[in-house]
Structure 1
Amino acid sequence: MFEQRLRHFADWSDNSAELHVLREVQQGFVETFITNRQSLSTKDLPNMTTLEQWLLQWNHILASVTYMHDFPLWMQYFPKIIFLVINKSGSGVISRDELRVFYSSFLGFDTQRVGEVLDIAYNNMTSNGDHPLRYRVYYLCFANFLLGRHPHGPGQLLFGSFEGSPPYSTMFPVDYSALNCPTEKLEQYSPHKKSNRHSVIV
């Protein structure tokens, strides 16, 4: 179903290279979340996975991941496939209108929801239009979507808003208290160290 929807939206032919890669990605997904589910749970539901099994498998994957290249190969190809699906013009740059069509036609957002999220999402992913949404930029947004520890950053709106998203007005809050903090009390950033801060540090 997922393959068919993407293929139909992107209008790929049976012999297209993109469709072959998409099928490999889908096969990797099935093997990861459905075929291998029995190793993480005693439940046996043919061709299905429960929410608990889904979360357990994601926990298993993310436990050893720090960078995008740590993910299984199929997941590393997934952002490229989604980028090609959205960039129907083949220009190499996702336009605001292409993102709008993806939100409305593929994700099924109604006009009101598209209006609420489109400008915010596009501006966040392009730094207010300063950086065209080429694949490299989209790839970094996708990495933020998968690896971000807090609901901030352009990856938050990659597939539109979701339940539990903070109000858009609070995105990227800045904690100015660090300016007046003694040097010995400043928290040094480390990707492996959990911080008590919930905002961008100046």
Structure 2
Amino acid sequence: MMSAVELSQFQKDKLRYYFKFLEPNEVKTIDIHSTDRLMERVYKYTSWTPDSPNAHQCLEVHTLLFEALFEETDKEDGKHKTAVQEDWYTFWSHVLSGCKTMKHFPVWLRLIPKTLFNMIDRNEDAVIEPKELKDFYKEMVRISTSETVLEKWSMKAYAAMTDNGHYPLNLDLFEQIFANFLFGRTPHGPGKYIFGCFKHDISSFQLIQQAPQDDDDDSSDMYANNEKRPRKFNVFFT
């Protein structure tokens, strides 16, 4: 049996939002039709055509994600191409076991933040803007609240992700934030906001440029907690 890491309650909270994003059915189960349901929403939201490069990559990545998830549930419980929320937690407890950086994941998993970034960046200018983040929360994450509250939450999330606007929310930074989403065991860091996990208070932090860099490091080798430092930014939490 694969080794597993015990997820913190905070990690489970974040993953619960991610699970909901992936279009479980009416009985809150991810099934063989979840990919189609998700992609239908993606096409509508982004205006991608099914044969566009972004749509093709998004479909491929999520197909592989669900295949890996179903393989895990079949081994664990004998289920056939279905997964409930607890299965989702178990899956990630195995995926994260022994991993410290995104580069330890298979290629398709490392592409997840890129597909999400492209989904959010609807004007395709390589930078996520506050309105794009708010629209993503409203239409794709489907946060149910008033427009005023959604605006407030979105601006808080954007400020957390960009150190109050000091850094552009480009793909490189978004990948680091996604790493924090997966690896972060406590409410520190902006990763919790990717799928709108606003139930935890924002902790103050600071991004500092020109962190020490290793020549053989690359932008995908990102440390997601304060035990290690990312390539381009130091992330400090208080």
Normalised by the shorter chain, which TM-score bucket?
A: 0.7 to 0.9
- Partner residue of 1:149? 185
Q: What is the alpha-carbon distance in structure 1 between the residues aligned to residue 85 and residue 140 of structure 2? A: 23
CA contact (8 A) 1:87 1:94 kept: yes
Determine which of 18, 30, 36 is the counterpart of 2:72: 36
Determine which of 116, 124, 129 is the counterpart of 1:90: 124
Report how far residue 91 of structure 1 moved: 0.6
Instruction: Tell which deviates more after alignment, 78-87 or 112-121.
Output: 112-121
Q: Bigger relative contact order, structure 1 or 2, given CA contacts below 8 A and separation 6+?
A: 2
CA contact (8 A) 1:92 1:135 kept: yes
Which structure has the larger Rg over C-alpha atoms? 1
Q: TM-score scaled to structure 2, two decimals?
A: 0.67
- Partner residue of 1:183? none
Q: What is the alpha-carbon distance in structure 2 between the residues aligned to residue 66 and residue 150 of structure 1? A: 16
Q: What is the alpha-carbon distance in structure 2 between the residues aligned to residue 34 and residue 112 of structure 1? A: 39
Runs of 4+ aligned structure 1 residues displaced above 4 Å come to none
Q: What is the alpha-carbon distance in structure 2 between the residues aligned to residue 106 and residue 38 of structure 1? A: 29
- Partner residue of 2:204? 172
Q: What is the alpha-carbon distance in structure 2 between the residues aligned to residue 113 and residue 33 of structure 1? A: 34
CA contact (8 A) 2:102 2:179 kept: yes
CA contact (8 A) 2:102 2:110 kept: yes
Say which SS state the counterpart of residue 77 (structure 2) adopts: coil
Counting matched residue pairs gives 174
Q: What is the alpha-carbon distance in structure 1 between the residues aligned to residue 100 and residue 93 of structure 2? A: 13
Determine which of 12, 17, 33 is the counterpart of 2:48: 12
CA contact (8 A) 1:117 1:161 kept: no
- Structure 1 pair 200/82, CA: closer, same or farther in 2 (3 Å)? closer
- Partner residue of 1:182? none
- Partner residue of 1:186? none
Determine which of 105, 115, 140 is the counterpart of 2:139: 105
Partner amino acid, structure 2, of 1:42: D
Q: What is the alpha-carbon distance in structure 1 between the residues aligned to residue 187 and residue 132 of structure 2? A: 24
CA contact (8 A) 2:153 2:198 kept: no
Q: What is the alpha-carbon distance in structure 2 between the residues aligned to residue 139 and residue 146 of structure 1? A: 11
Which 5+ residue runs of structure 1 have no aligned equivalent?
Answer: 174-188, 192-198
CA contact (8 A) 1:79 1:139 kept: yes
Which 5+ residue runs of structure 2 have no aligned equivalent?
Answer: 1-36, 206-225, 229-235
Q: Determine which structure has the larger helix proportion and give its number.
A: 1
Q: What is the alpha-carbon distance in structure 1 between the residues aligned to residue 197 and residue 50 of structure 2? A: 33
CA RMSD of aligned residues (A): 2.2
Q: What is the alpha-carbon distance in structure 2 between the residues aligned to residue 42 and residue 122 of structure 1? A: 40
Partner amino acid, structure 1, of 2:186: H
Determine which of 136, 140, 154 is the counterpart of 1:118: 154
**Residues 87-110 of structure 1: CA deviation (Å, up to 9, x unaligned):** 111111111111111111222223
- Structure 1 pair 140/34, CA: closer, same or farther in 2 (3 Å)? same
- Partner residue of 1:22? 58
Q: TM-score scaled to structure 1, two decimals?
A: 0.78
